[in-house]
Every structure is written in structure tokens, then in C-alpha cells.
């Protein structure tokens, strides 16, 4: 019996995967019985890969967009993965926010103003853990189109307790400005929590007006766990 397919799009087609080196790194870091958070799981490329390759890891997939969430659950079912799923966004405070829909479903993003987009539930990471909606994470991946720092601030108590040992963050240079933050602020926050931070993947991306390029990076923050 061959390996099960990892479905990403509704048709079952895998998109081109420029983050192969990142997911290989994530797989190397995960141990049996770890808890892995996929924050901004989208259709489940990371979560499904880990669920298939590392079945002893508990996967928690968090995705706010209703259609993406439906496909995410379907992908878990197709691949026979027993994962926890939460249909919400993570941020620095709980409530409701608008999710701006883009042409590419991987680019949907929380809006900081306006009334357009899908209204979604928002929770903090600390809240879902303290309310027993999810176990404490050992490894986290965050890809939320500019709102990464808000996610980290909503996990501040959890990160301060020393259980989580690795955080992967995809930083979108054109999106960070919407949330009035910078890569340097994110790195400083992680340093204060006891992490060392490295860039493990970079690629050039074109801005929203197709007239400029910036470097999109994946940060890896690591420290020894106190678990």
C-alpha cells in the first residue's frame, strides 16, 4: 500500500511548494507525543503532511475562513488524520474581526478597518489553552498574512511558561505594515521570551502593485523546553 495523498486544493491538486526546506525542518524538530499548532492552516499543507508523516504528533489546525476550514477538515478525513481543528483566527484579543478575501485563498487576511470581508471569530492563543480548547504547544507554525505579532502577543503567557520550544513564522513584508509592526519587533519579542531566532528560508515576492520586490522570510525561534 503506497503513501496516502496529501490533498490541498478541492481538486486534490498539490500546489507548487516553495517551502519544502521549512516543512522538512519542522518534521525534524517534532518528537513523538508533541503538540503541533498550525496557525493559519489554510487547506492544511503543513498539518496534513505532519499528520501523515508523524502520526504520533497531535496536530492542532487553526483556520478562520469558512470555506478553507471546510476543505481543511475534508483533507484530514481523506488522509485519515485525527487532528483538532478550530474555526477561528488568533490575535492579541478575542472578539470578532473581518477577514478580507483575496483572489488566492492562501492570502485571505484580517482587516484592521472597514466593513468588507467575512466576519470571523477571534481568540487569543492563551485563551484557547486556558479554556482547555487545546493542549499546550511544543512546536508552532504561524502564517497569518501580516498579523503574526498579534498572534504572538495573544500567546504571551503560554510562551513565557517555557513549554513551547520552537516557533516558525512566515513574515510577509508587504503585510506587516497593515498591523504597524516590523520584523525587528517580532524578533525582539521572541528574544525576550528566551528564544534564539534565525532566518531559515527566503524568497523574493512582488508587492500588491506588481512594481516592487521584497524578501519574504521564514523565521525559526528555538529554545530548550521546560516540559
Mean pLDDT of 3-21: 51
pLDDT tens-place string over residues 157-212: 999 998 999 999 998 877 787 778 889 999 999 999 999 999 998 776 665 555 56
pLDDT tens-place string over residues 131-158: 988 999 999 999 998 899 999 999 999 9
Residue 210: predicted pLDDT: 53
47-61, 93-107, 112-126: which range is least confident on average?
A: 93-107
pLDDT higher than threshold 60 for residue 11: no
Q: Which CATH number is 20-132+145-222's, of 3.40.50.150, 3.40.190.80, 3.40.50.1820, 3.30.420.40? A: 3.40.50.150
C-alpha cell at 25: 525542518
| Higher-confidence position of 16 and 48 | 48
- Residue carrying the nine cell digits 489554510: 42
pTM of the model: 0.85
**C-alpha 18: how far from chain center:** 16
pLDDT higher than threshold 80 for residue 3: no
Residue 109: predicted pLDDT: 53
Is the separation of the CB atoms in 38 and 32 below 8 Å? no
Residue 225: predicted pLDDT: 74
What band does 227 get if pLDDT is binned at 50, 70 and 90? Answer: low
Mean pLDDT of 88-102: 85
Amino acid at each position: 500500500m503506497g503513501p496516502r495523498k496529501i490533498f490541498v486544493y478541492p481538486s486534490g491538486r498539490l500546489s507548487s511548494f516553495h517551502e519544502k526546506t521549512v516543512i522538512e525542518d519542522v518534521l525534524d524538530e517534532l518528537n513523538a507525543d508533541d503538540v503541533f499548532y498550525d496557525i493559519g492552516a489554510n487547506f492544511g499543507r503543513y498539518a496534513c503532511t505532519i499528520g501523515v508523516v508523524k502520526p504520533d504528533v497531535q496536530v492542532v489546525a487553526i483556520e478562520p475562513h469558512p470555506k478553507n476550514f471546510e476543505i481543511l477538515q475534508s483533507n484530514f478525513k481523506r488522509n485519515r488524520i485525527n487532528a483538532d481543528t478550530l474555526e477561528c483566527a488568533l490575535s492579541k484579543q478575542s472578539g470578532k474581526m473581518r477577514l478580507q478575501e483575496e483572489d488566492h485563498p492562501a492570502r485571505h487576511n484580517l482587516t484592521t478597518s472597514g466593513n468588507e470581508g467575512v466576519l470571523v471569530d477571534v481568540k487569543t492563543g492563551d485563551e484557547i489553552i486556558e479554556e482547555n480548547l487545546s493542549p499546550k504547544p511544543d512546536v508552532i507554525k504561524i502564517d497569518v498574512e501580516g498579523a503574526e505579532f498579534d498572534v504572538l502577543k495573544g500567546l504571551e503567557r503560554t510562551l513565557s511558561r517555557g513549554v513551547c520550544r520552537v516557533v516558525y513564522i512566515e513574515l510577509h513584508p508587504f503585510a506587516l505594515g497593515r498591523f504597524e509592526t516590523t520584523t525587528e519587533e517580532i524578533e525582539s519579542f521572541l528574544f525576550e521570551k528566551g528564544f534564539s531566532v534565525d532566518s531559515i528560508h527566503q524568497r523574493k515576492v512582488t508587492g500588491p502593485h506588481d512594481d516592487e520586490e521584497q524578501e519574504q522570510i521564514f523565521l525559526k525561534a528555538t529554545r530548550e523546553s521546560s516540559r
